Amino acid sequence: MTADRAGPVVDTPYGAVRGRYERGVAVFRGIPYAAPPFGPRRFRPPEPPHPWDGVRDAGSFGPTAPKPPYSEAFAHYLSDPVVPGDDCLNLNVWTPEPGPAARLPVLVWLHGGALTRGSSAVPVYDGHAFARDGVVLVSLNYRLGVEGYGLFPDAPANPGLRDQLAALRWVHASVAAFGGDPDRITLAGQSAGAISIGALIAAPQAQGLVRRAVLQSGPPEAAERDKVRRMVRRMATRLKIPATAEAFAAVDRDLLLRTQAEAGRLSSPVLGGPAFGIVVDGDIVPRDPLEALTEGDAARDVDLLLGWTRDEYRLWLVPGGLMDHVDRLGPVALAGAMARCHCGHEVPRGYRALHPGASTAEIVGQLVTDHLLRRPLHRLADARPGSSYVYEFAWPSSLPGLGACHALELGFVFDTGDVPESRKLAGEGGPRELCDVMHGAWVRFAATGDPGWQSWDGSRPVRILGDGAPYTAHGPRDRELALWTADAAQESVPVGGAPPARGTELASAVRRLRRTMRARPH
């Protein structure tokens, strides 16, 4: 590493980059880790970037991947800046001590956004606090939506996940020059970023690249291939083209994004339906990632930090007044949730008994949250006792109705609660003490593998991070999760020799719910 009056200069495998010193931390933005994924490289696996001569300026965020904007209802709470340009496979580095002698722990951040939105340029993800506290923070962009997760007969699956793997390999090979230790890389992400991490640490090609992993509000999972194909076919029908990568590559990019947004308008964690996702492809994802991590030997030496927010579902249901809409639908919404969660009547009946004052929307939201997040993350922790640490974020936003919703913890993890983009979701008055606790735990985990509380064992300890001092609860909400086990056992023994008639009637309820939703402003 060298430095001049313009900032620190670091050599990478493809050329030198010049960063900036900001508040005592060296920052490098927009470094390409792969070539622009357009032209002949569109819908193809990432290729190495073109080397450059001289020193490349790394003072600004690089281009973001093509993506549609959030709807007005969600944009009120979530920020998603757009940086134009084709060179969107880029990353950023915050480091307190650029140079190979430092050997500091590294945290690589994968943003969320349902694999269709988001970027490393979101101000909430600023890495200054991690670098200030001795951790090299790397954040990156990857292909999104149909460009990154469309499933075509004439192109490899999961190009967005392949982008992430290429970035991880870049970090492993290059981070020492920025002061990082390639043997102490923690891969961290939230929502779709966490789902991606589950697939990456299970991937044969990534074994040995990661020492630790943080999965925030996203379990290891693989989407149904037909679900992704239906999304592509919806877009192809609207565009009046074949459902092939060649045909999609010929479509104007802005038109493709508008069509993607329209085709996915009713896809959500609550409603399900066609959506983009990581699929089993026989290569980078040879089997379902959760199965690989719980039943196989994948990532057995990787320490895990896993968790969720208490009221995940409120970010899915509050924007646009969907909570009230679900309450008005009543039994139809509840039947739709049962179909979404593949459960019988005993599960929501048990939830109502445990929470007699809860509204239909709250029961529906909790069912979906437990099905999508808590149950698979519990299963992952159960399979890896001693090396897993589990938390629940329980501090409620000061904004009406949001509670401790999905993504609310991010400003506390990054110690960026004072930026306007964090306050869009948290409101005013986020406790400084909670920020210190959470950010400090993530720093300790990246450095040592121990966030500062009891690791998972048969007592199922969960660290509750909310109002007041953090504490450990043993088996919180196990009563609700036990209902699913009882329901599955009941389903396995048909009464009167006939299987439960849930598939047809509940699928019909989901269709009615979606038809009703089409009339709702988005």
Instruction: For residues 46 and 262, give the distance between their C-alpha atoms in angstroms, rounded to a whole number.
Output: 28
Helix ranges (DSSP H) in 370-460: 375-383, 410-413, 420-426, 432-448
Please give, one letter per residue, the 3-state secondary structure of 277-289.
CCCCCCCCCCCCH
Candidates 46, 122, 36, 125; CA nearest to 83 is 122
Strand partners, 471: 464
407 close to 315: Cβ distance less than 8 angstroms: yes
In whole angstroms, give the CA distance from residue 240 to residue 151: 17
Q: Give me the sign of the Cα torsion angle 30, 36, 38, 43.
A: negative
Q: Are strands 90-95 and 136-140 parallel, antiparallel or unpaired?
A: antiparallel
Contact 236, 306 (CB under 8 A): no
The answer to whether 373 touches 308, Cβ cutoff 8 Å, is: yes
Verify whether residue 191 is a known catalytic residue.
yes
Q: Which residues pair with 212 in a beta bridge?
A: 186, 303
The residue from 191, 388, 397, 422 that is catalytic is: 191
79 is catalytic: no
Spatial distance between the Cα atoms of 83 and 349, rounded to a whole number of angstroms: 48
Which of 128, 371, 378, 406 does the annotation list as catalytic? 406
Distance CA 168, CA 33 (A): 9
Contacts of 84 (CB under 8 A, 6+ apart): 63
Which ranges of 175-287 would DSSP assign to H, the alpha helix?
A: 192-202, 225-239, 245-249, 253-263
For 303, the 3-state DSSP assignment is strand
Query: Which one of the listed residues 111, 147, 217, 312 is annotated catalytic?
Result: 312
Told to judge if 174 belongs to the known catalytic residues of this protein, a careful annotator would answer no
In 273-382, beta strands by DSSP E: 303-309
**Residues annotated as catalytic (active site), given as ranges:** 191, 312, 406
